[in-house]
Every structure is written in structure tokens, then in C-alpha cells.
Structure 1
């Protein structure tokens, strides 16, 4: 059995007009794609599928949370997902997905699998750098953060300023200010 069979939409039997599809995405969905960077996932995807005489319009909306590890502290946290994506499906002589918002499928096709589009929508909604919200507001206390603050460059600069400066450098600094 195909793992993404429930994401097949058989549009041949649908009437012209708008149709709604709801999908609940969990960790197993990403495991089926071989993607293991999420600890857990709870994302709801609403799909507004509009069938017209010559084309199909798909409007995806994803909202929910994905549990990931912070890039700085490796602490797990829930990252909010809220994104949308529009896709136009047209019919042509051969399959073509070169344009990210337009899909051309052969005239004889009768169904469309939307699993890949849902996967990409959620993955691309993730920030490039994943930072625990506790780091930004200062509420997260962890050994890693303490060690990072201890080894941060500002401490090194303070130590250098406190050390005695060679008096020859002071003479050279005067050259810069004498202009």
C-alpha cells in the first residue's frame, strides 16, 4: 500500500466548484518522507480545491506546531507553523513542474497526490535558524547557555582592556588622531 494514498484527490469525479479537504499532519508523515529533524508534529492543513473547466486551483493553509531542537542549546521546543501556498494545475501534453506555482499534468490524468506539496509547505515554513523562545526573552536556563555566555567574545574583550597596553601603541594611536 502506498504511504500517501490518503493524499490522492480524484478530481475527475468532482463537480465544478470549490471543495474542502482537511489533513492532520503528524510525525509519521515526515518519517514516510525520510525526514527526521522533527521530534513531533501537529499541523492542520486546510486545502481549498477549486475545479474549473480547464484548470484546477489549490490553496493550501497550514497551521500548528512542530517540536524541534534549538540550534543554540539543543533544547526541544514547539515551533509555530503558519503558512499558505497556492498551486495552479493545468493540463498539457506532458508532465511539467518547472514552475513552483504551476503544475502541468497530462490530459489523461484523473487524480493528483498533494502529499509532496504539504511536505514542502511545512518544511519551508520553518525558520532557517531555530531559536528557543526562552533564549530571546531570557527565561531559559540551561548549562549550554551558561557555558556559551562564559565563553562569549565580550568576556575576552573585557579581559584585553583590563590588561596593560604597551606604551608604544599609544604613540601610534596619536598618529590616527593628529590628522
Structure 2
């Protein structure tokens, strides 16, 4: 992660209080993680870093667009995403990130890298089902949609008929009551 050193936060020299860090994320960021789901991306991430005497409070906020394929038509479109990720950083004898809301850093550490948190926040902000807005409002014209409409199963109106044997059983119930 040598190339992600711009995401290192050296907290030893920071005064107590609130500090803001801003990052512009594009596809080069995702290349470090070998993540190629996005054709292109443009995301602004703001990190509000509050340094207290024994711990830190971090609030990551992301907003922007990612260019992804539609799950219905496979055509690419810009999907707007927004996300927030709160994180508390404490100190302990060894590194521990088992809890997703609390990060424990060793006492001797003077900096840490926030790139992994930014990556996870953005990837998890993308919905599992991605549908082009034009598909939702019905204005999309594509070969895939035309083929899907052509292959759609048409419901036929059926006249409800019952099996005469069941009718006889129903009569037995009504006759028994009288």
C-alpha cells in the first residue's frame, strides 16, 4: 500500500479537536484493490477527524457517482451514491479491527491509513441490484429489453372450473350441517 500513502493520517502532531481531510476518489484508487466493477467513478470523501486525549472519532462521508452496468439491460449508467461511516479509534496492546465500529491501534503507532475504510464504504454503498433509471420510468429502448418483452410469458385468462368430485364433497359438508 505504498502508493496509498496520501491516505495516511499522522495523528501524533495534530492538536486535540476537529480536523477535516478531503479526498477525490476515481478508478485509480480502486485499481490498488483490483476492483473493476466501476467503468469510471467520481467520488468526494470528507473525513471529519476529532482527536481527543485517549481516542479519535472519525466520520467518513462519501458522495458522487459510479458508472456501473444495469442488471437488466447491461448498459452502463451513472449511479449516484452517498454513504457515511462512523469509526472510533482507540489504543491497546495490539492491532484489532474485529469490531467494525471500533479500531484498536497499538500504543506505539503514530499514523494509520484510512484507504481501506474509504474503499469498503464506497463499495458497500452501491446497491446489489442496479437498475438503469430509464428502465424504471419505462423510457429505455434497448435490444435486451426488446428481447425480454418478446420472451415474456403472457398470462391467459382462464375460466375457473372445478373438479366435479370436489363438488360432491362440498355437498356432503353442507348436507351434514342441516
- Fold conserved (TM > 0.5)? yes
Deviation per CA, 1:113-158: give whole Å up to 9, x if none. Answer: 00000000000101110111110001111010011111123x2x33
Q: CA deviation at 1:176?
A: 6.5
Instruction: Look at both structures and tell me which one has the larger radius of gyration over its CA atoms.
Output: 2
Query: C-alpha separation between the residues in 1 aligned to 2:2 and 2:21?
Result: 19
Q: CA deviation at 1:106?
A: 0.3
Query: What is the number of residues matched between the two proteins?
Result: 170
Instruction: Give every structure 1 segment of 4 or more consecutive aligned residues whose post-TM-superposition deviation is greater than 6 Å.
Output: none
Gaps of 5+ in 2: 171-178
Equivalent residue for 2:8?
Answer: 8
Equivalent residue for 2:135?
Answer: 135
Selected match of 1:172 from 131, 149, 163: 163
Counterparts of 1:51-130 in structure 2, within 5 Å, are 51-130=51-130
Equivalent residue for 1:24?
Answer: 24
RMSD across aligned C-alpha pairs, in angstroms?
Answer: 2.1
What's the TM-score once normalised by structure 1's chain length?
0.89
Secondary structure in structure 2 of the residue aligned to 1:9: strand
What's the TM-score once normalised by structure 2's chain length?
0.89
